[in-house]
Copies of this chain bind each other. A is one copy, B any other.
Amino acid sequence: MHSTLKSSTEVIIRFSEVDSLTIVWHGHYIKYFEDAREKFGRDYGLGYLDVYNYGFVTPIVKVECDFKKPLKYGEKAIVEAIYVNTPAAKIHFRFKVYNAANMELVATGSSTQVFLTRENFELYLTIPDFYAAWKKKVGIKE
């Protein structure tokens, strides 16, 4: 049995990311999610280039974000990408964003990716062999 697979990364809120209300513009969280998802990819060997080398690309088909508290310029956020296993030929993550000062949860979200063949962008409806092998390697049972 595997424990939860997750990675986290730290983001310092940039001046350019803060809007006239002095809080992070909501669209930037999508980038923070990607920062954490990429960190997961590096930590567990499921990065863009890993997948690419196996002959696939994995575009996002769904993303969502719930905003609970604002983040302000200069604050530090901890962004967590939590891998959610699914039997489908998809990669699913949940995200949690915390204010590092008090570890208050400031946003949550999720993303879903599918597998396309690298060469002609054909949707792959079954789990690619490399992905099944990756799941096994990281300790996911089914």
Q: Interface residues, chain A, CB within 8 Å of chain B?
A: 12, 14-16, 18-23, 25-27, 30-31, 34-35, 38, 47-49, 57, 59-68, 70, 73-74, 121
Contacts and interface: CB of A to CB of B under 8 A. Distances in A.
Contacts of A64: 62-65
Contacts of A25: 15-16
Nearest to A116: B21
A38 B21 contact: no
A-B CB proximity, top 5 nearest: A64-B64, A27-B30, A26-B60, A20-B22, A16-B25
B74 A66 contact: no
Looking at chain A's contact residues, the main secondary structure is mixed
A62 B27 CA distance: 11
Copies of this chain in its oligomeric complex: 4
A48 B72 CA distance: 13
A27 B23 contact: no
Contact of A73 (B15, B20, B26): B20
B21 A57 contact: yes
A98 B31 CA distance: 23
Contacts of A35: 14
A75 to B, nearest CB: 11
A15 B30 contact: no
